[in-house]
């Protein structure tokens, strides 16, 4: 069976570096905070080109800590896409604010700027675009909309580390080269990253990070993550949390970070091969002209989705659905919208299917997966 992910292959490829990193932490006797965490934060700061990085316990924590550090709270509304992993919405609720949903663009699966005006109200304080599947959201339009209404922008970059955004007028990125444009996570007032084990840069446990160029936001986020204190046992912000990246995870992430660019490039090469093989049969991912995509997921769309899953399983190919329900049709969140209100999100939920995607997939496997999908369509 070709599975959607192969975390063992990744470990085997980097075993020497990862084992050494783990041993270094065990021998140091420093398990929370300390030099590994500080070095990881500064390496990521340099990688993203951002002024501050505050590591926290998860991507979800990074989102709600960023929102709280921006002053978003009870009585406020935050605009978010109707099609995302549920943590985006939970973070708004944890901050005490109300999520207001907007539809997605049916080609990129990201927030459709055309739906934003209809979601704004006098209570709106922020907009929370998600760089879904590793492709940047249309940040120029979102930032102009936010500036017009005096809103904060918090990027949900949980799936998109390494993705880059090219502002209008700059050259279109070549998907096989790195380094055009600006890193996602530096495009709004704050951004949240996740290092959950399935992510492109992944820990062996939970982890997350807030990135921002704003000094005071960074200071507040750092305090909120550690009981609202700047100095130990002096608590200035209520109520803080315990949300820290531990030293083991930081050391593991440091061992992997030097590989991230080449891993993301490999994902783009696999995506190109899939698209060449499948674009006449199914709806294949559209890479927006401004975007260097990281293909956290390679997600196709077809009305025959459920039968295709069974066919692929029969052929020994795994696949997964990200996500089977839009936010407003989730049992816990029906009050955020009604059926039919966000048609592109609903259609995506009915039709999307993610094919195996990771940097250790061989060319032969990718070709086999393409032919397995093709054989379904005869
Ligand atoms: C879009 C999105 N937002 C937020 C999160 C939350 O990250 P974590 O699982 O680290 O809390 C995830 C992670 O799966 C995600 O995919």
Residue 301 shares a structural domain with residue 227? no
Residue 274 inside a domain? The answer is yes
Rounded to the nearest angstrom, the distance between the alpha carbon of 203 and the centre of ligand 1 is 13
Which amino acid residue places its CA nearest to atom 10 of ligand 1? Answer: 59
Q: How confident is the model at residue 175 (pLDDT cuts 50, 70, 90)?
A: low
Residues of the domain holding 323: 259-376
Does the pLDDT at position 58 exceed 80?
A: yes
Using CB distances shorter than 6 Å, the residues near ligand 1 are 58-60, 84-85, 87-88, 130, 156, 158-159, 194, 196, 206, 208
Q: Does 2 fall in a domain?
A: no
| Residue with CA nearest ligand 1 atom 7 | 59
With tokens 């790195």, the residue in question is 178
Question: Quick one: 73 and 114 in the same domain?
Answer: yes
Question: How many other C-beta atoms can be found within 10 angstroms of the C-beta atom of residue 186?
Answer: 19
Residue 147 included in any domain = yes
Is residue 30 located within the same domain as residue 95? yes
Number of domains in the chain: 2
Looking at the fold, whether 265 and 179 belong to one and the same domain comes out as no
pLDDT digits (tens, 9 = 90+) for 248-307: 999 999 999 999 999 999 999 999 999 999 999 999 999 999 999 999 999 999 999 999
CATH of the domain at 346: 3.90.1150.10
pLDDT higher than 90, residue 184 = yes
Q: 329 C-alpha to center of ligand 1: Å?
A: 19
pLDDT for residue 167: 84
Residue 301: beta bridge partners? 283, 352
251 and 268 in a single domain? The answer is no
Q: How far is the CA of 28 from the centre of ligand 1 (A)?
A: 30
CA–centroid distance, residue 204 to ligand 1 (Å): 15
Is the pTM value of this prediction over 0.95?
yes
**d(Cα 176, Cα 225) in Å, to the nearest integer?**
38
Tell me, yes or no, whether 139 lies in a domain: yes
- Give the CA dihedral 368, 318, 360, 179, nearest 10 degrees: 100
Question: Which atom of ligand 1 is closest in space to residue 87's alpha carbon?
Answer: 4
Q: Is the pLDDT of residue 170 over 80?
A: no
Give the residue from 231, 258, 285 where a domain finishes. 258
Same domain, 118 and 240: yes
- Helix or strand or coil: residue 144? helix
Which residue has its alpha carbon closest to ligand 1 atom 12? Answer: 158
Last residue of a domain, one of 203, 234, 258: 258
- The best mutation among 55, 57, 58, 60 to test binding of ligand 1, ranked by most ligand atoms within 8 Å of the C-beta, falls on 60
Q: Which of 226, 258, 290 is the last residue of a domain?
A: 258
Task: State which H helix or E strand residue 101 sits in.
Answer: strand 98-102
**Tell me, what's the pLDDT at 174?**
60
Q: How far is the CA of 196 from the centre of ligand 1 (A)?
A: 7
Are residues 130 and 111 part of one domain? yes
| Span from the CA of 368 to the centroid of ligand 1 (angstroms) | 30
pLDDT digits (tens, 9 = 90+) for 137-155: 999 999 999 999 999 999 9
Q: How far apart are CA 159 and CA 35, in angstroms?
A: 26
Listed residue (148, 130, 156, 145) closest to 61, CA to CA: 156
Same domain, 213 and 315: no
pLDDT at residue 177, as a whole number: 55
- Cα of 292 from ligand 1 centre, angstroms: 20
- Total length of the chain: 378
- CATH number where 74 lies: 3.40.640.10
Per-residue exposure over 279-304, b if at least 16 CB sit within 10 Å of its own CB, e if not: eebbbbbebbebbbbbbbbbbbbbee
Structure tokens at 82: 């109707």
Name the token pair of 127: 């907009």
**Of all protein residues, whose CA lies closest to atom 4 belonging to ligand 1?**
87
Q: How far apart are CA 256 and CA 160, in angstroms?
A: 16
Q: Is the dihedral of CA 241, 57, 212, 53 positive or negative?
A: positive
């Amino acid at each position: 069976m070709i599975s959607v992910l192969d975390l063992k292959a990744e470990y085997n490829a980097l075993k020497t570096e990862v084992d050494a990193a783990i041993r270094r932490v065990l021998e140091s006797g420093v398990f929370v905070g300390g030099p590994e965490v500080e070095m990881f934060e500064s390496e990521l700061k340099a990688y993203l080109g951002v002024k501050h990085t505050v590591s926290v316990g998860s991507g979800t924590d990074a989102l709600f800590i960023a929102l709280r550090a921006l002053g978003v709270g009870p009585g406020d509304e935050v605009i978010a896409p109707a099609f995302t992993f549920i943590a985006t919405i939970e973070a708004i609720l944890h901050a005490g604010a109300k999520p207001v949903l907007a539809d997605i663009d049916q080609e990129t699966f990201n927030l459709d700027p055309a739906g934003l005006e209809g979601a704004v109200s006098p209570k709106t304080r922020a907009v929370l675009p998600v760089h879904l599947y590793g492709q940047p959201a249309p940040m120029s339009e979102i930032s102009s909309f936010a500036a017009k209404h005096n809103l904060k922008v918090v990027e949900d970059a949980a799936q998109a580390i390494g993705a880059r955004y090219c502002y209008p007028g700059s050259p279109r990125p070549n998907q096989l080269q790195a380094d055009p444009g600006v890193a996602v996570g530096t495009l709004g007032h704050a951004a949240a990253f996740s290092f959950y084990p399935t992510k492109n840069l992944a820990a062996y446990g939970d982890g997350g990070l807030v990135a921002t160029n704003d000094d005071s936001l960074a200071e507040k986020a750092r305090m909120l993550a550690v009981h609202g204190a700047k100095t130990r046992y002096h608590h200035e912000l209520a109520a803080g949390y315990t949300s820290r990246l531990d030293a083991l995870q930081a050391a593991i992430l440091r061992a992997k970070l030097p590989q991230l660019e080449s891993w993301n490039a490999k994902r783009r090469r696999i995506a190109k091969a899939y698209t060449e093989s499948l674009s006449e049969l199914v709806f294949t991912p559209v890479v927006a002209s401004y975007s260097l995509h990281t293909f956290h997921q390679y997600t196709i769309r077809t009305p025959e989705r459920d039968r295709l899953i069974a066919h692929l399983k029969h052929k020994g190919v795994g696949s997964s659905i990200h996500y089977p329900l839009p936010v407003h049709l989730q049992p816990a969140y029906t009050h955020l919208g009604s059926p039919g209100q966000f048609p592109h999100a609903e259609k995506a939920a009915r039709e999307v299917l993610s094919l195996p995607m990771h940097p250790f997939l061989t060319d032969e496997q990718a070709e086999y997966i393409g032919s397995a999908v093709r054989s379904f369509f005869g």
